[in-house]
Amino acid sequence: MFWLEPTGQIWVMIETEPGVGLWQVYEDLFKEGDIEFDPTMATPEGLLQPVRGFGLIWRSNEEVREGLGWGTDIEVGFVTNYEYEPGGSVVDGVFQPGPGYHYLQNQYGQWFRFNEINGTWQSVQRTAPTPTPSNGTADS
C-alpha cells in the first residue's frame, strides 16, 4: 500500500502472481482522532494489523483484507520518487489524451508501474530521475 499525501489517496497493490497484480485507488478517509486499529481483532503471532488510513481500508473491505492478508512490517513514512507517463495518441494531427502509467518507488528502492488502462501494477527495473538544479544549469 502507498499513501499519496498530495492527492489524499491510498493505492492498494494486490499481488496475483510474483511481481504483478491488481491496483486499486481509495480515498484516505482516516481523520485524526479516529481509531487507528481494531483491538477486538485477534492478530496472528508475528503479523500486524494495518493502522490508520491503511487499516481503515483493510478492515472495511473484505477484498482488500483477503488480498493482502495481515501486515508483515510496520507502516513507514518516506518521500518516494514518482513519475507519470501520459498516454494518448494523435488522431488527424490532434493529440487525444488517454490513460497512462504511474511509477512509484518503495522504501527499498523497488519501482512499480501502475497501468491506468486496466488497473494493474508490475514490478519494473527503472532508474530514479536526476534532479535538475532550479537555475537550469548543472554543476560541473
Looking at 36, 68, 100, the residue that finishes a domain is: 68
Q: Which residues pair with 13 in a beta bridge?
A: 23
The verdict on residue 36 lying in a domain is yes
Mean local confidence (pLDDT), 3-8: 94
pLDDT at position 128 is 65
The verdict on residue 95 lying in a domain is yes
pLDDT digits (tens, 9 = 90+) for 106-127: 999 999 999 999 999 999 998 7
Query: Do 22 and 55 sit in the same domain of this protein?
Result: yes
Quick check: 29 and 56 in contact, CB under 8 A? yes
pLDDT digits (tens, 9 = 90+) for 21-64: 999 999 999 999 999 999 999 999 999 999 999 999 999 999 99
pLDDT at position 132 is 52
Query: Do 93 and 58 sit in the same domain of this protein?
Result: no
Query: Do 17 and 51 sit in the same domain of this protein?
Result: yes
Task: Enter the pTM of the model.
Answer: 0.83
Structural domain boundaries, residue 93: 82-124
Query: Do 7 and 53 sit in the same domain of this protein?
Result: yes
Report how far residue 121's alpha carbon sits from residue 140's, in angstroms, rounded to the nearest whole number.
38
Q: What is the mean pLDDT of the chain?
A: 91
